[in-house]
Amino acid sequence: MHLTDFPGREAEEKVMLVLHRHWFIFLKNIIILVLVAGAPLVVAWIWSHIRTWELAPNSLGYALVVSGGALFYLFLWILMYGYWLDYYLDFFIVTNKRVVDIEQSGLFGRTVAEERLYRIQDVTSDTQGIMATMLRYGNVYVQTAGKKERFIFEHVANPEDVARTILHLTDKIDDRMERPGDPSQFIAAAGQQQSSAPLSADQMHKN
Amino acid sequence: MIDFPASWVQYLVMVLGGLLLLLSLLYLQNAFRHGGNSGANILTSGIFIAGIVVIAWFSLGLLRDVDWSSTFTIELPAVNPHFFGS
């Protein structure tokens, strides 16, 4: 499945934006992991200058150090890949009809939330912090009238442009009056079938 | 002084290593299930597998000199039998 081929995509639906979290968020986690990976090596190097120590190849200490170190670095490597997957498999899609928020949580959790554009009531964006301001990433908050009241697109690049794009798309939806159950559609349809009979009191009251 | 077979360490490492490899396989399966066959996905998964191979190759190479059929000994500190009184 291609990233933009999300579940339930309609045939005439056009993908306008595909957003991942900003690369700096992923890099932050990697830097922390690299520091954790380097810490034992630094400690061993410092210790070797304080005291001389040797491990005989056939000793328990040698076996524990080598096998423990291998397991430790294998675990860190898997953790790094897990961070990558968390970054890569979390994305937000904005189409000409709806917004979709796909979140991967761990190995066995995946949440797909979507909302139609005509249900969007408000879109705001914010940028907090020095790095966020310098690298131009932040959050986009999409307030909806649906079951999930608020979509949060976290740490996306150029959040103001994203918010503006979503608002522009919702304006186009409003202009085309595509909301089902919109009273104006019924009024227009009723006007085409207008009979010569006068309106009843109830009809006049409703108008 | 505690003596135990060196193979116990070997088995422990094999079990823990096997569990980590199983976790790796689950991550890979998850990646291709939800990420598809995109170029980035294939590249990063290839790098991930290569890293595992490198770690395994280095550690097995370093552990080649260990005689797993021997016995390891842990020296316990000497305990004074009269510490709590005679």
What pLDDT score does A184 carry? 52
Question: How large a percentage of chain A has pLDDT more than 90?
Answer: 38
Rounded Cα distance, A137 and A21, in Å: 9
- B64 versus A77: which is more confidently predicted? A77
The domain segmentation of chain A, as residue ranges, is 15-21+92-177, 27-87
Q: Is the pLDDT of residue A202 over 50?
A: no
Quick one: average pLDDT of A122-151? 90
- A1 versus A122: which is more confidently predicted? A122
Nearest CA-CA distance, residue B78 and chain A, Å: 20
Q: Which residues of B touch A82 (CB under 8 A)?
A: 27
What's the pLDDT tens digit per position in A89-112?
A: 998 999 988 899 888 888 788 888
Nearest to A3 among B20, B23, B35 (CB): B35
DSSP, collapsed to helix, strand or coil, labels residue A59 as coil
What pLDDT score does B75 carry? 78
A92: which residues sit within 8 A by CB, 6+ positions away? A17, A18, A19, A99, A100, A101, A102, A151, A153, A156
A155: which residues sit within 8 A by CB, 6+ positions away? A21, A22, A25, A132, A137, A138, A139
Question: How large a percentage of chain B has pLDDT more than 70?
Answer: 91
Those residues of chain A whose CB sits closer than 8 Å to some CB in chain B are: 1-3, 5, 57-60, 62-64, 66-67, 69-71, 73-75, 77-78, 81-82, 84-85, 88-89, 104, 107, 110
What does R_g of chain A's alpha carbons equal in angstroms?
A: 28
Q: Does domain A15-21+92-177 have CATH number 2.30.29.30?
A: yes
Nearest to A77 among B55, B62, B73 (CB): B55
Structural tokens at position A136 = 């131009």
Nearest CA in chain A to B18: A71
When pLDDT is cut at 50, 70 and 90, the band that residue A68 belongs to is: very high
DSSP, collapsed to helix, strand or coil, labels residue A157 as strand
B16: which residues sit within 8 A by CB, 6+ positions away? A71
Nearest CA-CA distance, residue B83 and chain A, Å: 30
Nearest to A78 among B23, B58, B72 (CB): B23
Please say whether the dihedral angle defined by the alpha carbons of residues A78, A80, A84 and A85, taken in this order, is positive or negative: positive
Q: How many CB atoms lie within 10 A of CB B72?
A: 20
Query: Is any Cβ of chain A less than 8 angstroms from the Cβ of B7?
Result: no
What pLDDT score does A176 carry? 65
What pLDDT score does A140 carry? 94
What does R_g of chain B's alpha carbons equal in angstroms?
A: 22
CA A129, distance to chain mean position in Å, is 20
- Predicted structure pTM score: 0.77
Contact across the interface for B59 and A69, Cβ inside 8 Å: yes
